[in-house]
Amino acid sequence: MAEEQSAPVEQQFIIERIYLKDASFESPNSPTIFTEEWNPDTNLQLNTEVTPISDNHYEVVLLITVTVKSDDKTAFLVEVAQAGVFQIIGYDVNQLNHLLASYCPSNLYPYAREAIASLISKGSFPEMHLSPINFDALYAQRLQEEEAQREIAKNEQTKDKDAGQDTVLS
């Protein structure tokens, strides 16, 4: 009996849904902040979360927090969790990780930027548009940092192993 060879699975990447999962806007020093000189200092925090939903389905959430202070007073804080459900089939583990950590957030980012700009505008603050982000570069940087951490751990294990060996001279 001849062995049957399974055909390779066709690669598929499908955006099934993009949605705003959570949004928050705070302006703790309003209305007095509007009467003071505007010297904005912006801090941006970015993170992603990936949750497997079922076979080949993943929820990816792009979390962005923008904090703007003027003369050390918080003018506003915006938090947005922009999410999407993605069907991803036929990719190896490295490709899948890259898609989930880089390509999916790249697709979500324009929606998050729009939500953030809208909330800031509704808070009566000057227009703000976040710059584009290169998620591929961030992903590559994270991989390099993880590799560096593995090397440090490996070197420490080697040092510990060498320190534990006593040399006996006759």
Asked if residue 49 belongs to a domain, the reply is: yes
Tens digit of pLDDT for each residue in 59-87?
999 999 999 999 999 999 999 999 999 99
φ, ψ of residue 58 to 5 degrees: the values are: -135, 140
Tens digit of pLDDT for each residue in 11-68?
999 999 999 999 999 999 999 999 999 999 999 999 999 999 999 999 999 999 999 9
Q: Which residue range forms the structural domain that includes residue 32? A: 12-139
pLDDT at position 170 over 50: no
More confident residue, 153 or 2: 153
Asked if residue 7 belongs to a domain, the reply is: no
Looking at the chain, the number of H-run helices and the number of E-run strands are 3, 4
pLDDT for 164 equals 60
Tally of structural domains, the chain: 1
| Two structure tokens written together for 55 | 């076979």
pLDDT for 159 equals 73
How many CB atoms are closer than 10 A to CB 114? 15
Find the helix or strand (DSSP H, E) in which 144 lies. Answer: helix 135-163
CATH code for position 111:
3.10.420.10
Asked if residue 165 belongs to a domain, the reply is: no
